[in-house]
Amino acid sequence: MNVAPSFIEELRHSVLALHKALLDAQRIRYEREHGRISTSGEFLGLVLEHPSFAWLRTLSALIARVDEWIEEQAEKPAGELPDLVAALRSLIARDGGHATFSAPYWEIVDEVPAVLVEHVKLWRLLESTR
């Protein structure tokens, strides 16, 4: 995969925008069930440790891998980028096979227009590499 640096920046931006939209939506779902989250520190603790947010950690880990790739791209073989793109595509595909991620992900995509918009942007970007 031979991609321009602008693709990498676009990919990172798109994944982060989707992640933020998902966090916002999951926070609303959590607060409906458990009550208001009072501080950003409390929210961060929940994101890192509460089972309600566990499914999102898969996407968080892929974001970390993208960031690592960007930082080390001079040293790493370019071959890892196609693997990251494939992992992202598989994760957000309707039939991606990531049961613990897919069920809550698609519930939110189907219910929250802002998440759907970010999903479509990322999906189109990922598909442009085929």
Instruction: Round to the nearest angstrom and report the end-to-end CA distance of the chain.
Output: 9
Structural domain that includes position 75 = 5-127
Q: Please report, in tens digits, the pLDDT of each residue of the chain (130 residues total).
A: 556 678 888 999 999 999 999 999 999 999 999 999 999 999 999 999 999 999 999 999 999 998 888 888 766 555 678 889 999 999 999 887 788 999 999 999 999 999 999 999 999 999 998 7
Q: What per-residue confidence (pLDDT) applies to 2?
A: 59
Write the CB contacts of 126 (distance below 8 Å, at least 6 apart in sequence). 11, 85, 88, 89, 92
With 0.75 as the threshold, say if the pTM is over it. Answer: yes
- Kind plus residue range of the DSSP H or E element containing 3: none
pLDDT at 15: 97
Q: How many domains does the chain have?
A: 1
Check residue 82 and give its pLDDT: 85
CB 8 within 8 A of CB 122: no
Q: 57 phi and psi, to 5 degrees? A: -65, -25
What confidence score (pLDDT) does residue 59 get? 96
Q: Name the DSSP letter for residue 101.
A: H
pLDDT score at 16: 98
The three-state DSSP-derived secondary structure of 20-78 is: HHHHHHHHHHHHHHHCCCCCHHHHHHHHHHCHHHHHHHHHHHHHHHHHHHHHHCCCCCC
